[in-house]
Amino acid sequence: MSLKSYIITRSILTLPMILLLLTILFFVLRVLPGDPVTMLEGKDIPEDVLQKRRAELGLDKPLVIQYFNYLGMIFQGDLGTTALSKIPVSYLIYQRLPATVELAVMSMIIAISIGILFGMHGARKLHGYLDYLARLYGIIIYSVPIFFLALVFILVFSIYLGIFPSSSRLSPLNELAYLDIRKTGFVLIDGLIAGRIDMVIDWLHHLILPSLVLGLYLSGIFVRLTRSQVAESLSKDYVIAAKARGIPDSRILYKYGLRNAIIPIVTMMGLQFAALLGGAVITETVFSWPGIGSLVYDSILARDYNMVQGSIVIYAILVAIVSLIVDITYAYLDPRIRY
């Protein structure tokens, strides 16, 4: 199968995956205990008002009809409005998604940089001090609850040392100024277009702490995965032959070790990045980062079906796109996967 045929086939297969995810989401939300109307209006709401509100939200119809109405709206690009404030769901997602993408990209850069380098050099000399240090780091950093790690970082770097802010995406003054220059929703791009370098620096200052927490936490996965995969590659006969020919260890490590171990690492990158795009709920909540994760968290507490469903729709599409890119990447790196 050619790469082009593989891409077409893989693209077609993403559609049933998205439909299945949306179906599961719809029915899971409906079987959860509690009524969204009483969550919004209170338990003492009169019966006639209760029925009227349920009709407004479409909750008085049979479940099957609600499901097909829901799919019809999705296919038309209509994500509905929020139950309480009647704001279009797509507008809120548009406002929040760039912040999540910024956090996800920076966190992945940190996680990959630390995880791959640490794991690769740990595998270079198994059972050496770097190997033991890499294994210990991978176990400890991934075992620590992320909310605890976030609180420790806030306590140390925000409260005691006062180096980084503990919440928000921008300082209050820049937050107001950004409303006037916002075009793409990405502070870096909009700030550079408007010539507001001070705003970009302020944004980086706020981004470092949450992305560092999330990046360090994820780096534990990459340390362990990289170490095991590179160590396996370095034990192959072609590596022994390369050493016998006098090829430098550094070249062997990168060309033979990392290159032949890259496919599972790339797969993990895609999975973790897709999860981050879905919203790092705990990190965004602790740092009051205005992203998709905190939006979904608040919507679940309010039982706002449309908001939760709309967010998951976008999440499903992003996961499908990232998964497709990952599949294409390792089909390109290893042609055997196409057959």
* 291 lies in some domain: yes
* 87 lies in some domain: no
Tens of each residue's pLDDT in the chain, 339 residues: 666 777 777 777 777 877 887 788 777 777 766 666 665 565 666 767 667 766 766 667 777 887 888 788 777 777 777 766 778 888 888 888 888 888 988 998 998 888 888 888 777 776 677 778 888 888 888 788 888 888 999 999 999 998 999 888 889 888 888 888 888 889 999 999 988 999 999 999 999 999 999 888 888 888 888 888 888 787 777 777 877 887 877 777 777 777 777 777 887 887 778 777 765 778 888 888 888 877 887 777 776 777 877 887 787 777 778 777 877 777 776 666 655
Same domain? 248 vs 130: yes
* Gap between the Cα atoms of 220 and 118, Å rounded: 10
Q: Is 278 helix (H, G, I), strand (E, B) or coil?
A: coil
Same domain? 218 vs 71: no
Same domain? 147 vs 7: no
Same domain? 47 vs 160: no
What was the pLDDT predicted at 157? 92
* 58 lies in some domain: yes
* 125 lies in some domain: yes
Same domain? 71 vs 96: no
Evaluated on CA atoms 178, 179, 183, 187, the torsion sign reads positive
Same domain? 254 vs 115: yes
* 260 lies in some domain: yes
* 221 lies in some domain: yes
* Whether 222 contacts 110, CB under 8 Å: no
Same domain? 99 vs 145: yes
What was the pLDDT predicted at 208? 92
Same domain? 283 vs 154: yes
Q: How many domains does the chain have?
A: 2
* 312 lies in some domain: no
Residue where a domain stops, chosen among 75, 105, 135: 75
Tell me which DSSP letter residue 337 carries. Answer: G
Residue where a domain stops, chosen among 42, 75, 108: 75
Which token pair is 271?
A: 């999975």
Same domain? 118 vs 166: yes
Same domain? 258 vs 176: yes
* 337 lies in some domain: no
What was the pLDDT predicted at 92? 85
> What residues contact residue 101 under an 8 Å CB cut-off, 6+ apart?
186, 277
Residue span of the structural domain in which 201 resides: 92-301
Residue 333 to residues 233, 234, 259, 337, 338, Cα–Cα distance (Å): 16, 19, 9, 9, 11
Same domain? 57 vs 201: no
- In this structure, what CATH number is given to the domain that contains residue 231? 1.10.3720.10
Ordered DSSP codes for 195-224:
T-HHHHHHHHHHHHHHHHHHHHHHHHHHHH
Alpha helices in 42-184 (DSSP H): 47-56, 63-75, 89-124, 129-143, 146-153, 172-181
Torsion of CA 193, 199, 200, 206, to 10 degrees: -150
Same domain? 154 vs 283: yes
What was the pLDDT predicted at 34? 61
Q: Could you tell me which of 166, 180, 175, 114 has the C-alpha nearest to residue 141?
A: 114
Find how far residue 179's CA is from the centre of its chain: 25
Q: Could you tell me which of 321, 267, 268, 271 has the C-alpha nearest to residue 10?
A: 321
